[in-house]
A and B are shown apart, each in its own frame.
Chain A
Amino acid sequence: MLTIDQAAYDAIVRHAKRDHPDEACGIVAGPEGSDRPERVVEMVNAAGSPTFYEFDSTELLELYKQMWDRDEEPVVIYHSHTATEAYPSRTDIGLASEPGAHYVLVSTRHWAEAGGGNNDAPVEFRSYRIVDGEVTEEEVVVVPALPAR
């Protein structure tokens, strides 16, 4: 189960809409071992593509160094699909390399079909564990705020 606060959830959806039709990507960092997605970090999609995403390699190193300094880890790794459902593709599964992370997929397709912009069409928001090529969908619970530590 992924428990995420409304602000982080909204930030991910906003990012996905803003970068549509390209795939948006980023992480939500949290203290190591806490399973608390606390800090949304938007990343540049170096692939700049509607069908592929890749964190820029220099930014990726900066991100990890920052997390190591703060004793954080990527609790959530998110990206968007812009024309297909919010389910990990074969490429997503093959390249998933953080077995401890929640892989969040959002899909902007219905929102885009409805005209994009400020329309209220839903953006699919789903979460998965991807371990050794095995995908397990999990429940997403959105809370007003994460419980106090």
Chain B
Amino acid sequence: MAIEVRIPTILRTYTDGEKAVTGDGASLSALIDDLEANHPGIKDRLIDNGDLRRFVNVYINDEDVRFIGGLEAQLADGDQVVVLPAVAGGC
């Protein structure tokens, strides 16, 4: 099973500068564990206390995973995953 994962600039330090990497997993949670095995440190930037970090957006085939099960969202061969940090702030 191959899933393409688009990596944002800020996390490319974990992927040797690669803009996209390939991962494996039947759910988002499994995919992130697989990424962590090959790119140590990346999981902590995506997950906090067992849940997706509030200011990290993850999309599966253009759908925000928050609307399709979060970390339990299902994945299939050929799916495309995009990780984008939120653009946010406040005074």
Contacts and interface: CB of A to CB of B under 8 A. Distances in A.
Contact of B85 (A23, A91, A97, A100): A97
A53 B86 contact: no
A19 interface: no
Contact of A55 (B9, B62, B88): B88
B70 interface: no
Interface of B: 8-10, 55, 57, 59, 62, 64, 66, 82, 84-91
A92 B13 CA distance: 22
Given A60-B84, A61-B82, A52 B9 contact: no
Contacts of A49: 90
16 contacts: A47-B88, A51-B90, A53-B89, A55-B88, A57-B57, A60-B86, A61-B62, A79-B89, A82-B91, A83-B91, A89-B90, A95-B85, A95-B88, A95-B89, A98-B9, A99-B10
A42 to B, nearest CB: 13
A126 interface: no
Given A53-B89, A64-B84, A97-B8, 8 more contacts: A52-B88, A58-B64, A60-B57, A91-B89, A95-B86, A97-B85, A97-B86, A98-B87
Nearest to A89: B91
The 4 A-B pairs of least Cβ separation, nearest first, read A52-B90, A92-B89, A97-B85, A54-B88
